[in-house]
């Protein structure tokens, strides 16, 4: 059976190369009893692949059951999977068969297997290795012949490195891994899927199918679809019910799409990709980088003032000083910039600054404290304007409220 026949039989929509590779792998392993691990984000249709594997296998006449491991409480999952004896725990009034006993000879699909507790993982590993299990509250070993197809949206190897998933179980499950691509990697299939869903809902609600205008089609293809096929189907149903004329433009489509998550700007020199978010440490470094730049700007302003210029009135220095004064934190000076100008005030000609290394100077160096520079500039501005705070704030490039707060902070009354 070729891939096109598989798509028609199981109603798989799409022509994406990544989708075709996943389907080809599923067909190849279906005739064996190899354990399969299906990887993919939530909503990509992992269960459909498990059904394809079962339907094309020698177990196709046997039972098939899908179990969402994340939906079963930790206290009862062992009982659900392996069964229990009467009186094994509070509420166990009768003996109960588990899934591995009832699905004997068939296939069990364990969805979200990364959510299994470690104790349950040990029980599952025993079944994979020997086909044996023990009911909860029993000492009798039982045999089962069940093929396991597992699925997860999480990185099981990463969980194993963190001690949250058994590494030996991971390698037993991932004998043949299948990667189901997310919808954003199947852009050529998005409109095909939408048309299929629209036609299905038009038949269900006895209405015309939804038609997208060109601007809506552009939005449909550029959206990231974090919920994948499940989200796309929900949007198609929502439009089928709510839109009256069934002709949807970009504005109408954007109104029903949840806003996409935005990440912070990338840190300069970062090795992260655009799809990853910054860690708290990277954010902290970004803030320190910006503060150091502001401090460098402030040094330039102070140096210009020492030369007799009036930098506060220039637009460039006005903005730089405003940025620094309105920050609540300050960073230490750039350790690579250890040189400060020594300006002669005795000459009437523009001074020609000389530089000394403040780390090697024998006398006490001038204070490089940002706080001291703020105090000095505030005092000079207040004195120049005879204590009028409004004018002083305008010259400093900060709000009057910020100036008042700085006066209180530095006790400059």
The continuous run of DSSP H or E covering 191 comes out as helix 187-204
Q: Read off the pLDDT of residues 13-68 as tens digits, 9 standing for 90 and up.
A: 999 999 999 999 999 999 999 999 999 999 999 999 999 999 999 999 999 999 99
Closest CA to 2 of 44, 57, 56, 50: 56
Q: What is the DSSP string of 25-93?
A: HHHHHHTS---EEEE--TTS-HHHHHHHHHHTSTTTTS-EEEEEGGGS-TTTHHHHHHEE-TTSSTT--
Judge whether 28 and 175 are in contact, CB under 8 Å.
no
CA–CA dist 9, 173 (Å, integer): 27
CA–CA dist 221, 42 (Å, integer): 19
- 242-272 CB burial, b ≥16 within 10 A, e <16: ebeeeebebebbeeeeeeeeeeeeebeeeee
Q: Which residue has the tokens 């140096």?
A: 303
Judge whether 42 and 180 are in contact, CB under 8 Å.
no
Q: Provide the sign of the torsion angle of the four alpha carbons 384, 388, 389, 394, taken in this order.
A: negative
User: Who has greater pLDDT, 270 or 70?
Assistant: 70
- 11 token code pair: 């109603």
The values of phi and psi at residue 147, to 5°, are -90, 135
Q: Read off the pLDDT of residues 135-177 as tens digits, 9 standing for 90 and up.
A: 999 999 999 999 999 999 999 999 999 999 999 999 999 899 9
Q: Is the pLDDT of residue 113 over 80?
A: yes
Residue ranges and CATH numbers for the domains of the chain are 3-181 (3.40.50.300), 186-256 (1.10.8.60), 280-409 (no CATH)
The values of phi and psi at residue 134, to 5°, are -130, 130
Please give the order of strands across the beta sheet that includes 36-39. 64-68, 107-111, 147-152, 36-39, 176-179
pLDDT bracket for residue 345 (50, 70, 90)? very low
pLDDT bracket for residue 289 (50, 70, 90)? low
Residue 2: the pLDDT is 84
pLDDT bracket for residue 184 (50, 70, 90)? very high
Q: At what angle do helices 315-325 and 280-306 cross, to 10 degrees?
A: 130
DSSP 3-state of 150: strand
- 353 token code pair: 């600054």
Contacts of 381 (CB under 8 A, 6+ apart): 312, 392, 395, 396
């Amino acid at each position: 059976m070729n891939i096109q026949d598989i798509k028609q039989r199981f109603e798989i929509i799409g022509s994406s190369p990544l989708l075709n590779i996943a389907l080809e792998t599923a067909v190849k392993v279906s005739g064996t009893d190899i354990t399969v691990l299906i990887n993919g984000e939530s909503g990509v249709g992992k269960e459909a692949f498990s059904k394809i594997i079962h339907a094309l296998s020698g177990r196709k006449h046997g039972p098939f059951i899908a179990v969402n491991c994340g939906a079963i409480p930790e206290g009862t999952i062992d009982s659900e999977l392996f069964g229990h004896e009467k009186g094994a725990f509070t509420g166990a009034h009768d003996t109960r068969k588990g899934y591995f006993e009832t699905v004997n000879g068939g296939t069990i699909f364990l969805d979200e297997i990364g959510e299994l507790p470690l104790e349950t993982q040990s029980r599952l590993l025993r079944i994979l290795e020997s086909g044996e299990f023990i009911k909860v509250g029993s000492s009798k070993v039982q045999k089962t012949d069940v093929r396991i197809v597992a699925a997860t949206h999480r990185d099981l190897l990463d969980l194993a490195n963190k001690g949250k998933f058994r590494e030996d179980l991971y390698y037993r499950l991932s004998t043949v891994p299948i990667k189901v691509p997310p919808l954003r990697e199947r852009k050529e299939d998005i409109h095909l899927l939408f048309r299929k869903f629209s036609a299905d809902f038009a038949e269900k609600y006895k209405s015309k199918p939804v038609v997208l205008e060109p601007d809506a089609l552009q939005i449909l293809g550029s959206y990231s679809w974090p919920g994948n096929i499940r989200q796309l189907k929900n949007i198609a149903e929502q439009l089928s019910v709510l839109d009256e004329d069934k002709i949807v433009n970009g504005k109408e489509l954007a109104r029903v799409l949840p806003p996409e998550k935005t990440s912070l700007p990338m840190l300069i020199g970062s090795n992260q990709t655009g799809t990853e978010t910054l860690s708290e440490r990277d954010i902290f470094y970004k803030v320190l980088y910006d503060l150091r730049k502001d401090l460098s700007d402030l040094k330039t302003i102070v140096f210009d003032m020492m030369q007799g210029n009036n930098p506060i009135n220039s637009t460039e220095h006005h903005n730089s000083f405003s940025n620094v004064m309105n920050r609540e934190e300050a960073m230490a000076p750039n350790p690579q910039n250890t040189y400060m100008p020594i300006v002669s005030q005795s000459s009437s000609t523009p001074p020609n600054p000389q530089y000394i290394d403040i780390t090697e100077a024998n006398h006490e160096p001038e204070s490089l404290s940002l706080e001291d520079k703020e105090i000095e500039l505030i005092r000079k501005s207040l004195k120049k304007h005879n204590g009028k705070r409004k004018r002083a704030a305008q010259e400093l490039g900060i709000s009057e409220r910020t100036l008042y707060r700085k006066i209180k902070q530095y006790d400059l009354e």
